[in-house]
Structures are given as C-alpha cells and as structure tokens.
Structure 1
Amino acid sequence: MDAETLLHTIERGRYNTAMAAYGVDEGGILTNMQVRSLVAMIQDAPWDVVATRVDALGLTPPPMPAATLDDAMLTQVAALPEGDILASGLQIYAANCVACHGANGEGTTLAPALNSDELRGSPDRRRYHAHRGARCRRARSWPAGSARSRPTTLPP
C-alpha cells in the first residue's frame, strides 16, 4: 500500500470495518503530523524493534476477547417486549464493543464500564451515548429516530 493510501486509511478509517478514523479532522485524536509519523513508522520501522520497545514500555495490548452469542438465547431475548431491539443490540455489542468494554460491560484498560448505575439509570444518558458514540473510538453515531437509538434496559 502506498503512503498516501495508508495515510488516508488511518486518517479516515475504513467504512463497514472496525477501523476507526484517527485523523483529528475526522473526529479522531491524531494530528496530520502524527498520522504522517505513524505512516513512516509502519512503512519503514523494523517491527521487531517496535515490538520490543512497546513491550519494554508495558504498552502491549491485552488479547482482544471475542464474544459468541447462543442462538437459543437470542431467540429468547427476541421474544421479550421490544426484544428485537435488545437482540440486535446484543449482536452489535458482541461484534463491536466487547473487545474494549468487556463481555459484561465491566470496562477494561481501553474503555470505561457501561454497566454502571450512572449510565444504566438514565434513559437520557443511554440515548446520548447511542446517538453520539460516547468516547468510544470504534463507536459511530446512529441516526436519530432509528431503532438503535431507542434506549433499552439491559438485563443485570
């Protein structure tokens, strides 16, 4: 991949993938210079040296957990009042959120807990997070009025 394509991928993300936009102009946290530095490092740095340095700094990320959902459980959830919304939310969470927020929403070193009383106790707050994507780098805002934006209380 050439440097400009790599720069645009980091800066803008990739639609329909877990690759978030990291460029500040796209809502990310990296300046243009930081993105260019990252591109240079990706294309030119010896990766064994990078891995050794990251490990020495204690910055090696934990393995990303994967969540699988039991079809029978999803069927039970879908049978609840407004269960289709909750079942859809569970699938979205398993595919996009569990790696950072944890399997039970307990939070990790990467992202805050979502199962807190503060968050779960306020429909307005849930609606805010659904619409705005909160502070999650992978989260994307959902269109107002969509089924995904309706607040739903998750089971304890």
Structure 2
Amino acid sequence: MEPVPASNSRTVQTSLVLPPDTNHLGTIFGGKVLAYIDEVAAIAAMRHARNPVVTASIDSVDFLSPVKEGDIVNVEAFVSWTGRTSMEVYVKVMSEKGPGGDRRVTAISFVTMVAVGKDGKPVPVPKVLPETEEEKQLFESAPERQELRKKRKKR
C-alpha cells in the first residue's frame, strides 16, 4: 500500500454551542466535547483507511478552557501515525467567543482507531505521510505514545 498524506484525512467540524449542549453553569458538557472528538476522529480515520473504523482508545483529555453557550467550537483531526490496522488520530478542539472573537485551545487528544472489514475484523491500513512541521513532529513522537498505551493496557 502506498503511504497516504496526512492532509487526506484532515477533517474539521464547526458547531455553535446551544442551550441543550450546556450544563447548569452555561458551559458545554464534557461528554458533548468527547462525542465531537470521537466523531471527527472516526471520520478522519475512515478517510485514511477507506474502511469503517472502531474506537480502540481515547488518550486522556484535558479540558484547558471553558466553552460557553453561544461560543463556536471547532474540532480538527488528522491521522498522525499508523500501525498495521490501527491509526493514531490527533484531535484539537478550539473555541471562539462568537463570530470573530478570541480563539483558544479547549482540548487536545489522541484517539486510536482500528479499521475493520465487512466481517468486523481488523484490516491493514496504509502508512501515513506527514507533510507539515506539525504532522512531522506528531509522527516522530508517536512511537513513544504508542509504547505508553501498551503499558497502560497491560496494567
């Protein structure tokens, strides 16, 4: 299989935070952000693998800044590294105070997705070809994160 540029998997989802998305403090539910992360990571992984995918793991998610009702949430993801059947997907969540307002990083996460065939069993995926400096940096540091995941799984 030929390597696939990371840009082929890049996926962006933009949403407006509405009242049903928020808790009693007027900030977005953490579970809503996790759902966005999982959904956008899955789309990026499917674009890379050209197959359905399942979520294998979501690395820890740190909520770095609050997102309030009326804010705009931008979730961006791309495949940063691949194994034989798995893909590490880098996901960055940004929030914006209304249209044209201040932007800030809300959360960053790495999601591991596994490509599956029609029978539901894992199938091989192409390697990823990093192009930008950000993609190269994430690609080079991925084996260390992979090793940490393996250790965590053993515990």
Q: TM-score range by the shorter chain?
A: under 0.3
TM-score (norm 2): 0.25
Q: What TM-score comes out, normalization by structure 1 length?
A: 0.25
Q: Which has the higher helix share?
A: 1
| CA radius of gyration, larger in | 1
Q: Which has the higher contact order (CA 8 A, sep 6+)?
A: 2
Higher strand share: 2
